[in-house]
Chains A and B, each alone.
Chain A
Amino acid sequence: MKIALGPLLYYWSRQSTLDFYAQIAESEADIVYLGETVCSRRHELRLDDWLEVGEMLADAGKEVVMSSQALIESESDLKALRRIVGKAEFRVEANDMSAVHVLSAAGRGDWIAGPTLNIFNPQTLSLMAESGATRWMAPPEMSGEVLTELLASGAPAIETEVLAWGRLPLAHSARCFTARHYNLQKDTCEFRCLGMKDGLVLRTREGEPFLTLNGVQTQSARVHNLLGDLASVRRTAQVLRVSPQGDHTVEVLKLFRDAVADEVSPQDAFRRSAEWMVEAPCNGFWHGRPGVEQYVKS
């Protein structure tokens, strides 16, 4: 069982980002996904900086993956994508079919099919494997039962990864909701999301935290937490993804390591994780329920 750190979805300052990955080099993560996947206007780290971070992490023994942007809109987005694919030393996570096309055209046969590719059945997964994917991440909305059925129905031999910790990435838009909050347009956003270490919480009019605005991405407010469900997760996935958060990511990775190594029971791990969550937990998607629910089998 491998533990992966997903790409950083928020926009942190250059120094905070570099400090964060310096800690990750010493962390329990086996795999680290790097790069900007949310917004092409975020440039605290350029591709060369990300590659430098990648080399540092690879030297520390981590498997490094460069993640591509989820929403590709412009020629410059495609240019950035082609540059990532051209850097042969790291594997690439394809988060859009454009990336699949560019990777296949480049003859790369070692990439990861990301969570936004909408792989919901073994036929589509096989097509991705034939195109060169050697690992895939299930869409976060897929339940454990559906995933189990998929894998039992003629799926190719390919590593399966599951989002096990972090705010759920729920939607992408052309519009930047963070800029909108400040009455700004995306093109002149003044980088207002910079330094919001866990995004901007949107609450219902009853004060209930509901969603998180993260630029053009909308996330859950709650933290998707599968620590308590590790028994069933382990039966299906070979890789568990932890999504970076403002504080305590290293502690969360350690807790996953201990739980996977059976040094702490899933229930105890779940209890201990409470102090590191930015919001209440949820696991509904894994149980085929509304994602917002914290579902406990009675």
Chain B
Amino acid sequence: MTTHTKIELVCPAGSLPALKTAVDHGADCVYLGFKDATNARNFTGLNFDAKAMAEGVRYAHDRKRKVLLALNTYPQASNWAGWTAAVDRAADLGIDAIIVADPGLMAYARKTHPDLRLHLSVQGSATSYEAINFYAERFGIQRAVLPRVLSLAQVEQVIANTKVEIEVFGFGGLCVMVEGRCALSAYATGESPNCNGACSPGKHVRWEQTPQGMETRLNGILIDRFADGERAGYPTLCKGRFDVNGETYYAIEEPTSLNTLELLPDLARAGVRAIKIEGRQRSPAYTGQVTRVWREALDRVMRDADSFTVQPAWIAELDKVSEGRSHTLGAYYRPWK
């Protein structure tokens, strides 16, 4: 029987009810954001004001769980003070770590709040140990979240060459592009994950029934067209159907979710320290359902990785909340590339 270092389960909290659900269902950490462009899930109706965050921190800390704050967009000269104020507020609220992408902001946090833990956001696009070690040496980051572009062997290589804790994505929406390096949304709508914290934002979305079928548009650009009876998806532009050389297909990626349950023993052996569940934009019910399954799976792997098998009931449960009710191992599995 092989046991491994504890892997933390990091769950999404788009709202206070979602935070409580995540904690109640076994999350070790929850991550959340303020109600503004300082975080990469800046969607209407989501996220926390100071009061809700204070209550969330109290709820989690009372139960010995951690709260991580995403401050992972890139501030600009004109709004810099808004981002540093967010760092100060995080420190005041007793947040356990901030998840940051911008080097300038890391330097500020390090200098102003030396005891505040820094996690490098997936938005920082660090895909190698050289990049991660740069942030560790300069800003003392203690954890890095890897973008969803590395194979399992490449994840192992990173872990073997850095002292920084490594967090990887386990489940949820699959970003096909390297996070922090994608301007597709900005190209189509003028709003970007990097600066505005939004990808394919709702205010630019239009659904329209036409004689050709249901059309979904993003700022007027046709992203997909659905036949009668076909379920029309949200027009995230990398998951639309397009024409290349006269062939119409999902040219970038099908609407599907990442699910790495079956890799859990390998991730544990590799020395991964935390698994992130994506989905702050989803409902508290989603958070509860996914947290419950992953808690159970992680507990089993921690007890005995060698005899770990994926339970069909887990997959059935997760597929219910997956995009397109299907899942993929993404880049962890080389042939996906």
Contacts and interface: CB of A to CB of B under 8 A. Distances in A.
Contact of A213 (B127, B225, B244, B247): B244
B281 interface: no
Interface string A39-74: 000000000000000000000000000000011111
B102 A120 contact: yes
Contacts of B102: 118, 120-121, 124
Main SS at interface, chain B: mixed
A152 B128 CA distance: 34
A125 to B, nearest CB: 8
Contacts of A289: 190
Interface residues of A, number: 70
A171 B177 contact: yes
Contacts of A176: 337
Contacts of B150: 73, 174
A73 B223 CA distance: 30
Interface in A162-205: 168, 170-177, 180-181, 185-187, 200-205
A218 B184 contact: yes
A124 B189 contact: no
Contact of A120 (B125, B157, B194, B251): B194
Interface in A133-181: 139-141, 146, 149-150, 152-153, 168, 170-177, 180-181
Given A146-B77, A170-B187, A174-B331, A123 B337 contact: no
Contacts of A121: 74-77, 80, 102, 104
A140 B105 CA distance: 21
B221 A201 contact: no
Q: Which of B130, B138, B335 gathers the greatest number of chain A CB atoms within 10 Å?
A: B130
A123 B243 contact: no
Contacts of B134: 97-98, 100-101, 104
B64 interface: no
A153 to B, nearest CB: 4
B337 A290 contact: no
B326 interface: no
B154 interface: yes
Interface residues of B, number: 69
Contacts of B131: 72, 96-98, 100-101
Contacts of B157: 74-75
A174 B149 contact: yes
Nearest to A148: B77
B183 A175 contact: no
Contact of A180 (B180, B248, B251): B251
Contact of A202 (B128, B178, B188, B242): B242
Nearest to B181: A172
Contacts of B148: 174
A17 to B, nearest CB: 24
Nearest to B250: A180
Nearest to B150: A73
A152 B78 CA distance: 10
A185 to B, nearest CB: 5
Contacts of A210: 221, 242
A291 B183 contact: yes
A102 B130 contact: yes
Q: Which of B148, B243, B331, B336 gathers the greatest number of chain A CB atoms within 10 Å?
A: B243
A18 to B, nearest CB: 29
Contacts of B103: 123-124, 127-128
B84 to A, nearest CB: 9
Nearest to B218: A290
A200 B245 contact: yes
Contacts of B75: 120-121
B86 interface: no
Contacts of B101: 118
Nearest to A222: B187
Contacts of B135: 97
Contacts of B154: 73-74
Q: Which of B101, B128, B154, B184 gathers the greatest number of chain A CB atoms within 10 Å?
A: B128
B308 interface: no
Interface string B120-134: 000011111011011
Given A71-B178, A118-B102, A120-B102, A175 B336 contact: yes
B61 to A, nearest CB: 31
A109 interface: no
Interface in A98-129: 98, 100-102, 104, 116, 118, 120-128
Given A123-B105, A141-B195, A290-B186, A173 B177 contact: yes
A71 to B, nearest CB: 6
Contacts of B125: 96-97, 116, 118
A146 B186 CA distance: 15
A181 B77 contact: no
B186 A205 contact: no
Interface string B83-121: 000000000000000000111110110000000000000
6 contacts: A78-B130, A97-B130, A101-B137, A175-B336, A202-B244, A290-B189
Given A121-B76, A204-B223, 9 more contacts: A71-B149, A73-B127, A73-B154, A75-B157, A104-B134, A121-B77, A124-B104, A187-B337, A205-B222
Interface of A: 70-75, 77-78, 81, 96-98, 100-102, 104, 116, 118, 120-128, 139-141, 146, 149-150, 152-153, 168, 170-177, 180-181, 185-187, 200-208, 210-211, 213, 218, 220, 284-285, 288-292
Interface of B: 74-78, 80, 101-105, 107-108, 124-128, 130-131, 133-135, 137-138, 148-151, 154, 157, 176-178, 180-184, 186-190, 192, 194-195, 219, 221-225, 238, 241-245, 247-248, 251-253, 331, 334-337
